[in-house]
């Protein structure tokens, strides 16, 4: 894992990003330097689709960092149910007892994917897999630092941004300027909704630090995940090209048509809408994933 550190100043959270190169995902530990209380945002549970093996190596590295720094974990925060990796929220909850949270519209995503997987009514599609469901504009605390929730749908129905001090954790809305913006072709996604979410983020002060949920290292450069609102306004390759909602929707939808579905989307969603919990073991003690056939568009056949 590569690691970047954002040096704290007065009134600013300490932010450390952990890059998981297999999926290009970025996990965050964000801490109040005064109280040493912290939150983890979007932790990854390792999964190898070829063997079906799972591992807690990424999540354990977060816990080791928290221990080294003398932090106390208060929150395990999901920005949305991810399509390209498993969430380690359930594992971290079991290890630490910290509260889990996600946006309240996850209920809509659960209902949508419950139908795709043809799960029985016994599956609770009510968000009860998390300790707290956040509403738009809701406030919370990390130590003495104020946190605020901003709904940011478009990539998914329930995507949210977490704002803590001068930092905003913007998940899959905007990537680094040379990568542009996030796809919107998943079930429940919307390019128009993403445009509106981006406008809310771009209305924050220029110096606001933005922390993206992924980096795919265009051109093979080193992984990066921190920018500012000012940088994104000036340099984001999609936002400087598409200046209006109409232009953006055309650009985003054209780009989405060229993208194959993530390799793990059908694996990951059945774990992530359970709050990062793997399926229960069956009678032989083994856990199984269920892969629906012909459930999603966008197959990329080899020529």
For the chain, how are helix, strand and coil distributed in percent, rounded to 5? 25, 25, 50
Cα(29)–Cα(131) distance, integer angstroms: 19
Contact 138, 171 (CB under 8 A): no
pTM for the full predicted model: 0.94
- Residues 41 and 294: their CA atoms lie apart, in Å, by 32
Q: Give the CATH class of 2-264.
A: alpha beta
Q: Give the pLDDT confidence score for residue 11 in this predicted structure.
A: 59
- Quickly state the pLDDT bin for 10 (edges 50, 70, 90): very low
For residue 2, what pLDDT band results from cuts at 50, 70 and 90? low
Q: What are the residue boundaries of the structural domains of the chain, listed by start?
A: 2-264
Determine the pLDDT at residue 76: 98
């Amino acid at each position: 894992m590569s690691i970047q550190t954002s040096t704290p100043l007065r009134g600013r959270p300490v932010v450390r990003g952990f890059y998981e190169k297999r999926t290009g995902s970025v996990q965050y530990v964000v801490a109040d330097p005064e109280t040493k209380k912290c939150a983890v945002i979007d932790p990854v549970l390792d999964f190898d689709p070829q063997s079906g093996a799972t591992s807690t190596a990424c999540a354990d590295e977060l816990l080791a960092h928290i221990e080294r720094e003398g932090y106390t974990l208060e929150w395990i925060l999901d920005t949305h149910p991810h399509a390209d990796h498993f969430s380690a929220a359930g594992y971290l909850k079991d290890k630490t007892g910290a509260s889990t949270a996600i946006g309240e519209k996850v209920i809509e995503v659960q209902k949508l994917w419950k139908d795709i997987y043809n799960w029985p009514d016994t599956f609770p599609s009510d968000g009860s897999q998390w300790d707290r469901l956040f509403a738009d504009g809701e406030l919370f605390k990390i130590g003495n630092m104020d946190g605020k929730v901003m709904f940011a749908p478009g990539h998914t129905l329930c995507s949210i941004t977490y704002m803590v001090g001068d930092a905003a954790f913007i998940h899959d809305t905007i990537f680094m300027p040379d990568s542009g913006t996030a796809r919107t072709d998943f079930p429940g996604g919307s390019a128009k909704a993403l445009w509106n979410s981006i406008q809310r983020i771009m209305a924050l002060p220029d110096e606001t630090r933005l922390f993206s949920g992924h980096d795919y290292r265009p051109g093979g450069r080193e992984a990066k995940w921190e920018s500012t609102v000012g940088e994104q306004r000036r340099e984001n390759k999609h936002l400087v090209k598409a200046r209006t909602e109409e232009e953006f929707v055309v650009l985003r939808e054209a780009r989405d048509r060229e993208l194959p579905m993530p390799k793990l989307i059908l694996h990951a969603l059945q774990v992530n809408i359970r709050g990062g919990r793997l399926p229960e073991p069956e009678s032989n003690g083994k856990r199984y994933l269920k892969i629906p056939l012909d459930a999603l568009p966008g197959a990329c056949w080899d020529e």
